[in-house]
Structure 1
């Protein structure tokens, strides 16, 4: 994987917040949608730090954060969230390394299966995950917003 020799993956630290927010705003235009207050990157970070913060990883290259992934495990299934790689660092294998790192952390917890969701409009993201062995399950994902800002 060319270009990742100086890359390291480590657990998120609060000092990483500004760099992670900047990366997410670039990678996830959905965060800029003011009509969707539940898509608040600061809230996403705060919630992750309250629940399994050791499963929030950043990729660092030459001292800069170039990627993120969050993982979670409920004792039944694992989940991946917020996989993002800086635009200038894409197609270097960083996303793959982040996914594999998160998978290893979940495996170490005894996780038998990992789930994730991809927005239906993001065919390129689906293709990326399929290249890593993920397949579409024959399920329908349902959701329900809870609370005032859900």
Structure 2
């Protein structure tokens, strides 16, 4: 494991996070813009959790809680820092957040084709549920599935 600083994101870091996601995350979302990230942080300041090493952004996870469900999105680690405990540290921080608000179960959004991510989630104790499928309808931007 490397020396990490785990903290929540600030609204003025939206561009930095988006640049990081382009390099470290799989796929894109209709909310991948400065407005989307800033809105997330403004609505739920504890949701976007970042990992830094020597000032470099090396990991992220969105740990959203709506009062009903604990949802995990955008677990991403810089390719040069994978397999060093970054995702584990981020998920532990997310799980502490969920426990503090009374959350009962974490649901993770994981791309089906991202097999490397499947291993990371499984190693952290999460399991795939084949009886669910995600249904989406974009309300803004291009009318395409995300």
TM-score, normalization: structure 2? 0.86
1:111 to 94, 103, 113: 103
Question: Structure 2 residue aligned with 1:8, among 5, 8, 13?
Answer: 5
Equivalent in the alignment of 1:79 = 71
Is 1:89 paired with 2:81? yes
Which whole-Å deviations, capped at 9, do the CAs of 1:50-93 have from their partners, x for residues lacking one?
A: 32121211111111211111111122220111111111111110
- Taking the aligned partners of 2:22 and 2:76, their CA distance within structure 1 comes to 10
2-structure distance, mates of 1:61, 1:133: 25
Could you list the runs of 4 or more consecutive aligned residues of structure 1 that deviate by over 6 angstroms after TM superposition?
none
Q: How many residues are paired up?
A: 142
Check whether the contact 2:52–2:59 (CA below 8 A) recurs between aligned residues: yes
Whole-Å Cα distance in 1 between the matches of residues 111 and 12 of structure 2?
A: 29
Give the match's secondary structure for 1:18. Answer: helix
Q: Note the residue ranges of structure 1 that are not aligned, 5 or more in a row.
A: none
Task: Give 3-state SS (helix, strand or coil) of 2:117's partner.
Answer: helix
Shift of 1:39: 5.1
User: How large is the RMSD of aligned CA atoms in angstroms?
Assistant: 1.9
Partner of residue 128, structure 2: 136
